[in-house]
Chain A
Amino acid sequence: MSFFSHLFLPRRSNNYRSKILHNHILLFFIIALFAGSFLTVAVKRNYPQVLGISTDITHEQLLLLVNEKRQQNGQPPLKLDPSLNVAAEKKAEDMLANNYWAHVSPSGTTPWFFIKGAGYNYVYAGENLAKGFSSADAVVDAWMNSQKHRENELSPNYQDVGFAIKTGKLQGEDIVLIVEEFGGKDLTVVPSASGFEILSPPIAAHVQAATSVKPYVNSMLLSSNIYIAIISLFIIVLVLDMWIVRKHKIVRIAGHNMDHILFFITFLLAGFLIARGVVI
């Protein structure tokens, strides 16, 4: 107990400044974190089965949430279609293999190519993409908050849906990629002219299987937990330090804790800004 007080509270033994706030301890944290960054990247690169990215998002969760939103908006539920699941898988693999984040690949391959190639004869088709989300709720909420994606989610023209949830490296970053393909087979409806062209190359000719080995440790979860824990620890120690020093009217030479607290809160928010997901 005395050791923890020495570490986290200002008292005589630490010259009335929490030991963890002393310069050499701060320096220790800085060196450890820089070393940890290099180590993390090295282990991820060389031992992806040990430390890598994984996700708990499932097709069933996404389907349930999408249908909940449709029900709330008076639309019939979508059915999970095996062909559209295959189309979504192929699209996700193509994005990872050819390193692009777009509906149309750099070589001009459209989503309709994958849907048709998987054997789904659509009249209406659509695609929503998402990356960087950690939960199914966050993905569906992001789609619902974007007008064009919302229109896809709630469109009465679709009866079927398929999903792919892939982990991999895209444009130099480890990501969780989610592809959602919509389809409608209503033959009484005349398709609109735009966006339904089918390209000729055989499907999967240029598609490579993406590695999706589930690692023992999810690096995204580990790093975000350590990030939040370290910043929170320093904020709490700074608040306690400031409170005790004011309470006991201790005079000392040190920076203002409030400045550091504001700085750490900013960097905590910065992490959330940097790691937020994106949809197209």
Chain B
Amino acid sequence: MAAKTKHTGHYFSLILILGLGLLGLKVAYPNRILETEIAILTAIFYVIWGIVHHHQNHSLNSKIVIEYILIAALGMAVLLFFIAGTFGI
């Protein structure tokens, strides 16, 4: 029961981080630099969240840290590609 509550709390915090990122993008529009910074921050917080989450689950290792970093970097790379193609910047 306690484990399930902890798990729910973790996901609630993840949704909060990602939701705040989206809210930040909405507020920052149309300042592209600020939007990019908010997206980078969201990705960084995602990696931190992943590390904390796996640490508390006693499942943290270097492979998992690299995986979260790569997923976050992929999200940023695809978003920057989209911005470059759409706005030419």
A residues neighboring B (CB under 8 Å): 23, 26-27, 29-30, 33-34, 36-38, 40-41, 44-45, 53, 132, 169, 172-175, 219-220, 222-224, 226-227, 230-231, 234, 253-256, 258-260, 262-264, 266-267, 269-271, 273-276, 278
Contacts and interface: CB of A to CB of B under 8 A. Distances in A.
Interface string B55-89: 00001010110111011111101111111111111
A271 B81 contact: no
Given A253-B61, A262-B14, A275-B82, A174 B75 contact: no
Contacts of B59: 253
B22 A174 contact: no
B70 A26 contact: yes
B88 A263 contact: no
Interface string B6-37: 00000100110010011001100110100100
Q: Tell me the interface secondary structure of chain A in the complex.
A: helix
Contacts of B39: 267, 270
A174 B14 contact: no
B87 A173 contact: yes
Given A23-B70, A274-B32, 5 more contacts: A26-B74, A37-B85, A132-B30, A266-B22, A275-B86
B80 A34 contact: yes
Interface residues of B, number: 46
11 contacts: A33-B78, A37-B84, A223-B82, A227-B82, A234-B74, A255-B68, A262-B15, A263-B71, A274-B29, A274-B82, A278-B29
Contacts of A33: 74, 77-78, 80-81
Contact of A267 (B49, B68, B78): B78
A23 B70 CA distance: 7
B79 A270 contact: yes
B33 to A, nearest CB: 10
A219 B74 contact: no
B79 A276 contact: no
